[in-house]
Amino acid sequence: MSDLIKFGIQVLDAVLPNGFPRSSFVLISGEGGTGKSVILQEAAYQRLKKGDKVLYICLDDSPDSILDNMRSLGFDVEGDVEERIIFVDGFSYRAKNHLKGRRFPIIDPNDLNSLTKKLNMYIDNFNMANKGLVIFDSLTEIMTLCGAPMLLDHIKTWRAIGPKEHGVTFLASHHYGIRPLEEFSSILDYIMDGLIDIRYDPVLMEKGILLKQLRVRKMRGVWHDTRWRSFVITSEGVKEFNKVKFEKQLLKEFIQAVDTQERV
């Protein structure tokens, strides 16, 4: 059986108490703004703290923007760049002729064959076997460029090369709720070893409150809690949200306010 590892993220480790197989390709799906990229960024940071190496393929934003966001969340990885974490820029290719002296290598996500070769190269040259993490943020961006059939075929190849052949964990984000991508999403569900869904709490959302929730819908090889867990994004990353504790605190503050008003 593959080694079991943990995300190092409180709310995810709570629903995966024994961890998950290192040789997994895990998909994190949700609507825009639900925190998918933040979870990927914290996962990268936590793996670096464990001594692993990380390849971060940026498709929805530039590496510099991602580094700035990680820094704002307390995940300062600047000292590890190029030594233990490599950023590959699949976002800036449209403007590459106007960019000079770029710090990070630029790839064209339309060229999936080239991307597959680069994955192989980085896994080998970076000595990532059984101690590496590869992040795609996001697969949706590639799908809009190349189409679902071509991307799905390459995802199968990436899963064989990375998680299954070399024991390198792959994490990817995907935006759901886009009608033309619904069939693509269902096929992705079948291919992936793990599925993590993110949403806004539907009850609170009706009241105008956007509280984020996640669940592990699928994780091959290990027991997992499939119930929804609430979480918030703080200046220290992703933290589980204790609804009961929050309501007690609100009640306490209300009672104190009423008591103060009566004294006045």
Tokens of 264: 């006045």
Tens digit of each residue's pLDDT (9 = 90 or more) over 61-112 = 999 999 999 999 999 999 999 899 999 999 988 876 666 667 898 999 999 9
pLDDT tens string 2-34 = 699 999 999 999 999 999 999 999 999 999 899
* Per-residue model confidence (pLDDT) at position 93: 87
Average pLDDT, the chain: 89
The amino acid at residue 198 is: I
Residue of 220, 210, 157 whose CA lies nearest to 2: 220
In the chain, the amino acid numbered 220 is: R
Residue 178, pLDDT score = 63
CATH of domain 4-263: 3.40.50.300
- Judged by average pLDDT, the poorest of 50-54, 223-227, 242-246 is 242-246
Burial class (CB in 10 A: 0-12, 13-18, 19+), 175: buried
Give the Cα separation of 104 and 62 in Å (integer).
9
What is the CB neighbour count within 10 angstroms for residue 189? 15
Cross-strand partners of 132? 53
Reading phi first (left if > 0) and then psi (alpha if -120 to 50, else beta), residue 135 is in beta
Q: Report the relative pairing of strands 25-30 and 53-58 from DSSP bridges.
A: unpaired
As a three-state string, the secondary structure of 213-260 is EEEEEEECCCCCCCCCEEEEEECCEEEECCHHHHHHHHHHHHHHHHHH
**Residue 94 C-beta-side C-alpha neighbours within 13 Å:** 6
Distance of CA 193 to the CA centre of its chain: 15
CA-to-CA distance for 150 and 76, rounded, in angstroms? 36
Closest C-alpha among 28, 224, 234 to residue 135: 28
Q: State the pTM of this model.
A: 0.90
Cβ atoms of 172 and 24 within 8 Å: the answer is no
Whole-number pLDDT of residue 1:
46
Collapsing DSSP states into helix, strand and coil, what is residue 149? helix
What values do phi and psi take at 109, rounded to 5?
A: -65, -10
Largest CA distance in the chain: 73
Question: For residue 32, what are its two tokens?
Answer: 């825009």
Residue 3 DSSP one-character state: P
If one counts every other C-beta atom within 10 angstroms of the C-beta of residue 204, the result is: 14
Convert the pLDDT of each residue in 183-241 to its tens digit. Answer: 777 888 899 999 999 999 999 899 898 999 999 999 999 999 999 999 999 988 999 98
Contacts of 85 (CB under 8 A, 6+ apart): 44, 48, 53, 54, 55, 56, 77
Structure tokens at 11: 């709310």
| Pairing status of strand 229-234 against strand 132-137 | unpaired
